Amino acid sequence: MVVSDFTASFTHLSKIWITVLCLTYGSSASANDPKILVFGDSISAAYGMEPEQGWVQLMSDKLKQDGSHYTVINASVSGETTGGGLVRLPKTLDVHQPNILILELGGNDGLRGYPIDKIKSNLNQMIEMAAVEDIQVLLVGMVLPPNYGRRYTLAFQNSFADVATGQEIALVPHLLEGVTTPRDLMQQDGIHPRAEAQWMIVEDIYPLLKPLMNSDK
């Protein structure tokens, strides 16, 4: 699945407002309940649909149906980059104190042509922040459209595997079918998955998330 940059869609004030909402989402959970924090961009923020249609809410529903006591907190912000995430993450971890972090960032960096080494450095620093707090991390990889050039797109895609291998964490290589995802599963922008594809994203992530939940008992 190809990712996108929606920073231009938000003013500075609206982004702050969204961030505040994300930090308070799921705050009614018991302090003793284990928590999964989803920390991503528009792909995880249910862009173009109602929040309850997005994969994060669907995964939360699935966990409840499976009898899990995990609470899912969505701290995703449309247009977010790894640099913005690096700034935001310490406070987010402090507020929610999750057991598991699903890290879905990097797509907007790639679409802006940011240096691969910088993207990897930011991801590594966020993962290391979580490790200090004994938080398990599941990294979600992204892909770019081919018009960004073979050298850059390949290096970008490989960067997630490099980080996951170096940090010894679980990796979802890409969502759906990467750049070959059928057009009818995508919104008109050709970038964001439609509501019909959100369950498929859950199916991509859940098998790698479940072992982390089991080991956290």
Residue 192 appears among annotated catalytic residues: yes
How far from 17 is each of 5, 7, 24, 73, CA to CA, in Å? Answer: 18, 14, 11, 17
Single out the catalytic residue among 5, 41, 42, 109: 42
For 168, phi then psi, to 5°, come to 55, 50
User: Any idea what DSSP says for residue 55?
Assistant: H
> Do residues 148 and 109 touch, judged by C-beta distance below 8 A?
no
**Residue 204 corresponds to which amino acid?**
D
Residue 189 appears among annotated catalytic residues: yes
Cβ-based burial of 217 (10 A; exposed 0-12, middle 13-18, buried ≥19): exposed
C-alpha 110, offset from chain centre: 15
Single out the catalytic residue among 5, 60, 78, 192: 192
Residue 42 appears among annotated catalytic residues: yes
Which residues are marked as active site?
42, 189, 192
